[in-house]
Amino acid sequence: MQPNKPLKGAEFGKRYPRDEMITQVVRNGIPRTVMQGFSSSVLPDRDLSDIIAYIRSLTPEAVSGENAM
Ligand code: HEM
């Protein structure tokens, strides 16, 4: 299995409205999938916040924001 869920778009934004929710998934992983958790020893907080900023940059505010249609 490969990464198969786009980390962008309105649906993703609805599932993960807050950055901490992404942090939780990356730190803990998703049970029974190949999405393992990445601890801070392999992925420092600083790098994770860069990754989250990048993920957020993939979806314009107009699509992800609460006022999006
Ligand atoms: C630091 C790197 C990674 C980040 C930031 C990341 C982030 C995420 C996030 C946020 C989700 C939730 C997506 C959603 O529910 O819409 C997800 C799911 C997933 N990731 Fe990762 N991931 C990373 C690395 C990987 C790697 C290396 C793999 C594969 C070897 C992987 C495989 C998956 C899969 C298969 C899912 C979907 C699981 C399901 O069926 O719900 N991810 N990932």
Q: Where are the domains of the chain?
A: 9-62
Residue 37's contacts (CB-CB under 8 Å, 6 or more residues apart) are 26, 27, 28, 29
Evaluate if residue 4 carries a pLDDT over 70: yes
The neighbour count for residue 26, using CB atoms within 10 Å, is 19
Q: How far apart are CA 1 and CA 49, in angstroms?
A: 26
- For residue 68, give the amino acid letter: A
Nearest ligand 1 atom to alpha carbon 38: 1
Give me ligand 1 centre to Cα 65, in Å: 22
Please state the φ and ψ torsions of residue 15, each to the nearest 5 degrees: -75, -30
Digit-coded pLDDT (tens) for 13-69 = 999 999 999 999 999 999 999 999 999 999 999 999 999 999 999 998 878 765 554
Give me ligand 1 centre to Cα 45, in Å: 17
User: Any residues with Cβ below 6 Å from ligand 1, and which?
Assistant: 1, 3-5, 7, 12, 15, 22, 25-26, 30, 33-35, 38, 43, 51
**pTM: predicted TM-score of the whole model, two decimal places:** 0.89
Give me ligand 1 centre to Cα 3, in Å: 6
